[in-house]
Structure 1
Amino acid sequence: MPHCVRDTVARTTWIGVTSGMAQNVQTPPALFDRALLHARQRRAHAQGAVSFLLDRVTEDMSDRLAAVMREFHAPADLWTPGEGLAVLRARLPSLQRIALGETGEEKLPFTPESLDLVVSALALQFVNDLPGVLAQVRRALKPDGLLLAAMIGGDSLTELRQAFAAAEAECEGGVSPRVAPFADLRDIGALLQRAGFALPVTDVDRVVVRYANAFALMQDIRRMGAANVLIERRRTPSRRATLLRMAEIYAERFADSDGRIRATFDIIWLSGWAPHASQQQPLKPGSAKASLAEAVKKAGES
């Protein structure tokens, strides 16, 4: 991809995080037009999709699975776009691929305790009912089965979001939904716990991509099949003046000294296990052998 240069920053790991965000919502609002998403992903694939983020996730997922010292005999790939996680088939020849168009209303075609591994790459950020989907995955896993997934989240595309909001407020007197809302790291950790996963782990891989201008970034987003699929998206074409002003604001606020702009992509990794008696269990309250107060006292005397 000649017009961009990729740089990365360090990965931060959070283990067993919690959040107060998760609530018991019976009918979550539909944010995404998943039929449109499916159509755009198919078109992007047919026209030669931009895949640098998916390639990065696929390589990382392969490494993460290699660190798990076990064999998986009933794995499934959930909604990964494009060719899916084909690179994993050498290790997982029985990998069952569930394409986006095969599942209506986000109802998964898995029977309870039928899988020992579920993987998903860059798909869960477009789920309307993420708590419900995670709960379905949890039910589909055999005891001690693993979920390993990567999704876009955090501060992804914050620069584009800010530039569009400023340009529309200035040129049109209002703001329309342009960039999908993304879950943050703590929210995902809380949802894993809420769905009943044991040993939940989340971490984030921040990728900073540089482009010649905002229009080159938007072209890549379209070629990823990830252009705006919000149900409440604007249905009329954007004004040329608004787009030009957006690009100006983007360059004013988020350009490096060489004039190239920055675009942030936060890849949130999440994993969790279906509970099993063999897994490490937290200590029961009051079961500690030594007192923290005594340890502090002894440290002060030494």
Structure 2
Amino acid sequence: MAQPPKLTDRKALAQNRARAERDALFLHGQAIDEIKERLSEVNRTFTAPCVVTGFPEIWGDAFPEARVIEDGELLDIAQGAHDLVIHAMALHWASDPVGQLVQARRGLVPDGLFMGAMLGGETLAGLRTALAEAEVAETGGLSPRVLPMGEIRDLGALLQRAGFVLPVADALPLDVSYADTLALMRDLRAMGEANAMEARLRVPTRRGVLLRAAAAHDATTATGDGRILARFETVFLTGWSPGPDQPQPLRPGSATARLADALGTKEHGEDGGKR
């Protein structure tokens, strides 16, 4: 079987994360709060949780009872060892996201819960467009600098491909105010989310590209008070490992009640009359 193309330079990603500033990790804080709230709504006590993350300190503090492991290409997770696996704000950097999900599912006991949080396709869409247009204008070419972040429908389908049942994908947008686009770019570096793509240019981006992109993005995202708005989208993925006691869908044609009766309406018969 052909291996997926290598998307991420893991060494560069580790360096970016090591330079991250905890005060800038507000997206992780949002994801932690959201996951905790969702777990509180699950009528189950989890006794063997695991967290997959590139930021072990912040997620370890949030889930002190969990085993925290690195989001490497091969996860350090034993088969059937956990009843809960949280993939924490790292799946968008995976060269093989389906492989990550499959490994997480294998690490779950039957009817174990998977919860994932990752950046989605609406994240900084305007900035990505501005950078692409500026680079073409300044250099005549386009280099890989933006992750191919998935749309929510595609990400939900990944759960099914990985063998999860009862899959759910939903998004939580967050609009953040910045002084200008250059401040946003600095904040991305402080988040540890700077370019770590394997195919990226290995030389610094031309100053003209950054200034042109910043000017264009400032113009399209201005709020009227001298600031700009940047949108981040966090996609949450939920799925269960297959288990014998889970509810199963009925076979087509096996219903014992009519939809029309449940809705209190009349349906048309084959003879054109109502019955």
CA 1:96–1:295: 2 relative to 1, 3 Å? closer
Amino acid at match of 1:31: L
For the Cα contact (< 8 Å) 1:176–1:233, is it kept in 2?
yes
Amino acid at match of 1:230: M
Instruction: Find 2:69's aligned residue among 80, 88, 98.
Output: 98
Report what 2:92 is aligned to.
125
RMSD: 2.1
Amino acid at match of 2:216: I
Q: 2:266 aligned with 1:298, yes or no? A: yes
Report what 1:206 is aligned to.
173
Larger mean Cα displacement after TM superposition, 48-57 or 120-129? 48-57
Q: Distance in 1 between matches of 2:169 and 2:216?
A: 33
Q: Deviations over 1:143-162 (max 9, x none)?
A: 01000110001211111111
Q: Deviations over 1:258-299 (max 9, x none)?
A: 232221111000010011122111111111113457878726
Report what 1:3 is aligned to.
none
Larger mean Cα displacement after TM superposition, 36-45 or 272-281? 36-45
Instruction: Find 1:271's aligned residue among 220, 230, 238.
Output: 238
Q: Distance in 2 between matches of 1:240 and 1:223?
A: 19
Q: Distance in 2 between matches of 1:162 and 1:38?
A: 26
Alignment of 1:43-58 (within 5 A): 43-45=19-21, 48-58=22-32
Report what 1:83 is aligned to.
57
Q: Distance in 1 between matches of 2:35 and 2:124?
A: 23
CA 1:74–1:295: 2 relative to 1, 3 Å? closer
The Cα shift of 1:108 comes to: 1.5
Amino acid at match of 2:67: Q
Q: Quick one: percent identity of the two aligned structures?
A: 43
How many correspondences in the alignment? Answer: 269
Alignment of 1:139-154 (within 5 A): 139-154=106-121
Return the structure number with greater relative CO, CA threshold 8 A, min gap 6: 1
The Cα shift of 1:99 comes to: 2.6
For the Cα contact (< 8 Å) 1:41–1:82, is it kept in 2?
no
Q: Which has the larger radius of gyration?
A: 2
Report what 1:74 is aligned to.
48
Report what 2:271 is aligned to.
none
User: Structure 1 segments of 4 or more deviating over 6 A?
Assistant: 293-297
CA 1:82–1:113: 2 relative to 1, 3 Å? closer
Report what 1:135 is aligned to.
102
For the Cα contact (< 8 Å) 2:138–2:209, is it kept in 1?
yes
Q: Deviations over 1:165-203 (max 9, x none)?
A: 111122221222222110111111111011111111110
Q: 2:126 aligned with 1:159, yes or no? A: yes
The Cα shift of 1:87 comes to: 4.6
Instruction: Find 1:63's aligned residue among 31, 34, 37.
Output: 37
The Cα shift of 1:33 comes to: 0.7
| 3-state SS, counterpart of residue 24 of structure 2 | coil
Q: Distance in 2 between matches of 1:86 and 1:170?
A: 44
Report what 1:4 is aligned to.
none
Amino acid at match of 1:225: G
